[in-house]
Structure 1
Amino acid sequence: MNGAADPGVTGGPDLRPVSVEQRTGGRGPRVLLLHGLAANDTVWDLALPALPADHQLWTARLPWRTETIADFHGGHEEPGLRDRLAEALQAVPGGAEVVVAHSMAANVLLDLLDQELKAGVDAPRRYGIRALVLVSPFYRSRADQFDWDTISYYLNDFHLIMEEGLRAHSGGRLSADLRQAMGERVRDRVGPYGWFRFFDLYLRTPALATARLGLPTLVLAGETDFAARPEEGVALAAALPDARCLVLPGSGHFPMLDTAERFAAAVADFVHTVPGLSPQRGRALPEALELQR
């Protein structure tokens, strides 16, 4: 599962449901980056050069990416989201020691680890995971925090999240009208089934047995994120046994694009504090608000 081309079409786009690609060949920690809904692995392109050269960086292409999103909304057939994410984790030779997951991928990852831990499987050991970085995750700790207004907001304004991705990817070069048209088109490609799969993950977050997940975890939130609000990242970090949350100023739902260097510095500093991954070092991250339990 290595490389960008579809093995059946020379030079064509990679249309396999899951693939991974090694982006740098460092001898340090193996880091796998997972993109969110209706994005792809290019979402990491600005941050990758700013990450430490000694890290071995991998990116995944997942079924909910831009190129294959039209195949994503056909219902709840197997293999499911957890199975596909497990494929990506297992495709990294030696295992991904640090998993960096953005937006919906963070929720699929939490769901996968939660289900396996509840079944008595040592999921971190199975996949070789030593630490997590959860970027702009969706999280609510109680079922009563979901009401009809919440559903209406995420249903009727779902296209705004798609528009936010277009804004971040384009660096603000697209006009508002064009972003709106393109955002609605992406929303329609995600479709009702795709939206429901996203929202179903969100609805299940109060049931996550977060106390079982003792991995060192960094939660990164964007200060102006209107999709996964920063207070949700703070709440998730508070619910995990060994986690902290950094809220990145000047960033929305895509901190790896909005503030790429600050994002990379936060990830690098965190990885260097995880015992056994690399020599520990401490650097104060400038202009980040740290919020912990």
Structure 2
Amino acid sequence: MGEMISTDVGEFWVERRGEGPDVLLIAGLSDPAEVWQAQLDGLADRYRLTAYDNRGAGRTPLPEGALSVPGMAEDAAAVLGALGIPAAHVAGFSGGSRIAQELALKDPSLVRSLVLMSTWARPDAYFRSVTGFWHWMAERAPSERAMLEAFLLWIYTPRAHADGTVDRIIEETLAFPHPQSVEAFQRQLAPFRTHDTLDRLGEITAPTLVLAGELDMVAPPRLGREVAERIPDARFEILPGEAHQPFQEVPDLFNTRVDAFWRQVARH
């Protein structure tokens, strides 16, 4: 069971599992902590995992004013501080990977290692067009179900659409008792569309693993490769046949890969 915790920058809903070295899981656009369920369950025998709802997602309230990626990195640092975690392996997905980048840049002592899944540093024209479409689609879709059916076309593999995985995710999302408002979706999306870290990535000192799905249309491998090339000694891997959210679609593969990386970091 999760809990609401108070930090020096606000209240955040937090889910925690397991014992061992600390891992902080940072979700992407719209996703609550439950998006990491397969990691909270599958890695809890080796790590103490912490996932939380970003501002405006799940149970964490949406504040007044614009959101920013540096501000959300401050949130991540505040969550670690409130929980008494001096440093953690940090894994960020999509928009959460942008938060993780900023956390590693602003508070390097908090980041023992960095896993960036489905990441980018400088939004290109295609990315801005896709996410601009998402912005108005959220308010003009005829229903929440229609919005999800359209939005998830960019997120999951054709395999997941064919085998019923996407249908299940849609039903679970519609049944979730803490739905995200259109305003919160748009306000979360805005900073992810424009934030640029490319010229600062060389300042990251944490050991870094960059993972990209071969079929990812939102953050294609070329964007992840660009990130890895700018971070000193970062590793870059493409997951064949996967799209934007492999940690959900093939959690055993994802968990095995990040576990191996964290073990290697610990050895050195």
What TM-score bracket applies, with the shorter chain setting the length?
0.7 to 0.9
RMSD: 3.5
User: Which structure has greater helix proportion?
Assistant: 2
- In the alignment, the residues of structure 2 paired with residue 101 and residue 175 of structure 1 have an alpha-carbon distance, to the nearest angstrom, of 20
- In the alignment, the residues of structure 2 paired with residue 134 and residue 164 of structure 1 have an alpha-carbon distance, to the nearest angstrom, of 19
What residue number does 2:244 align with?
253
Q: Select 1:200's aligned residue among 178, 194, 200.
A: 194
Q: Which runs of 5+ in 1 are unaligned?
A: 9-15, 117-122, 281-293
- In the alignment, the residues of structure 1 paired with residue 12 and residue 217 of structure 2 have an alpha-carbon distance, to the nearest angstrom, of 29
Q: Which runs of 5+ in 2 are unaligned?
A: 138-149
- In the alignment, the residues of structure 2 paired with residue 242 and residue 84 of structure 1 have an alpha-carbon distance, to the nearest angstrom, of 27
2:73 paired with 1:75: no
TM-score (norm 2): 0.75
1:134 maps to a residue whose letter is L
What residue number does 1:4 align with?
2
2:2 maps to a residue whose letter is A
What residue number does 2:79 align with?
88
Matches within 5 A, 1:24-35: 24-26=18-20, 29-35=21-27
What residue number does 2:28 align with?
36
- In the alignment, the residues of structure 2 paired with residue 104 and residue 249 of structure 1 have an alpha-carbon distance, to the nearest angstrom, of 22
Q: Select 1:124's aligned residue among 108, 112, 119.
A: 108
1:249 maps to a residue whose letter is P
Query: May I ask how many residue pairs the two structures share in their alignment?
Result: 243
CA contact (8 A) 2:94 2:118 kept: yes
Cα deviation, residue 50, structure 1: 3.1
Cα deviation, residue 189, structure 1: 4.1
Matches within 5 A, 1:81-160: 81-114=72-105, 116=106, 123-125=107-109, 127=110, 129-140=111-122, 146-147=124-125, 150-157=127-134, 160=150
Cα deviation, residue 260, structure 1: 0.4
Please tell me whether Structure 1 or Structure 2 has the larger radius of gyration of its CA atoms: 1
CA contact (8 A) 2:35 2:248 kept: yes
Q: Report percent identity of matched pairs.
A: 26
- In the alignment, the residues of structure 2 paired with residue 230 and residue 82 of structure 1 have an alpha-carbon distance, to the nearest angstrom, of 24
CA contact (8 A) 1:20 1:91 kept: no
What residue number does 1:47 align with?
39
CA contact (8 A) 1:52 1:268 kept: no
Cα deviation, residue 41, structure 1: 1.3
TM-score (norm 1): 0.69
